Amino acid sequence: MPDRMKIISAAKSHGGVQGVYSHASDACACDMTFAVFVPPQAGETPCPVVWYLSGLTCTHANVMDKGEYRRMAAELGLIVVCPDTSPRGADIPDEKDNWQFGSGAGFYVDATQEPYAKNYRMYSYITEELPALIAQEFPADMASQAIFGHSMGGHGALTIALKNPGRFKSCSAFAPIVQPGTAGWSRPAFEKYLGNDEASWRSHDTTSLVEDGHRFPELLVDQGTSDGFLNDGLRPWLLEAACAKAGIPLNLRMQEGYDHSYFFISTFMDDHLKWHAKRLSDPKAGA
């Protein structure tokens, strides 16, 4: 295996392999870590790729350890890629006492403001650099890709899909931040990463992208009714209104009594993977 990707760990699971890897990232100017589950079917043929983007404070490990995706991914023959959320390291600008910013809170944007512009380039990392590495190193069918995520990662999945509709055949989210430019826990990060010109934030904001003409064939969103961040940070009704006006089919499922945790995510993980698998097998999906 080339030196540019190192194996941190690899374990057999449900007939496939759950691996954790690291590489030197040009986009983020630091070493980045990511997890990949390769199903048993990949021994015979390249498999579709599903990207899972994690939320604030998380790494690749949160969903890998608590998301309970491997059994269904193995059954459906899906490669699941779980990137880190942010650049990390001693030399990375950070606010260690602020969980809503810096390391663990990259918001999947390319920062334009100093001192963050050098490292916080998660949009380029997720859409360009890491896909190229996955295509090179894994038995992946890059013509069949889906994307989903949780919270900040749901924001990332929705915005990336809307800006790259030809790449992804499906997109879904758990409790996404649908309008980060006005949400209390994300607006300060946008100011620091992107500057004070709020017009520049629109390309990183799901509802604004929809308002500005970006389209995706359909979306699936699960949201817990007992989520403590529902009314301030998440506000799925804003996405519902934007999609209704734009004619984008949105299946918004308000799940009674569920919160923001991985107990919620793991409960509905199978639903999302099945939903993606159905669309990944449809040659017309994402067209």
Supply the residues annotated as catalytic.
151, 227, 260
User: Can you give the chain as a three-state secondary structure string?
Assistant: CCCCEEEEEEEEECCEEEEEEEEEECCCCEEEEEEEEECHHHHCCCEEEEEEECCCCCCHHHHHHHCCCHHHHHHHCCEEEEECCCCCCCCCCCCCCCCCCECCECCCCECCCCCCCCCCEHHHHHHHHHHHHHHHHCCEEEEEEEEEEECHHHHHHHHHHHHCCCCEEEEEEECCCCCCCCCCCCHHHHHHHHCCCHHHHHHHCHHHHHHCCCCCCCEEEEEECCCCCHHHHHCHHHHHHHHHHHCCCEEEEEECCCCCCHHHHHHHHHHHHHHHHHHHCCCCCCC
CA distance 240 to 274: 23
Contacts by 94-102, CB closer than 8 A, 24 or more apart: 99/56, 99/57, 100/56, 100/185, 100/186, 100/188, 100/189, 101/188, 101/189, 101/192
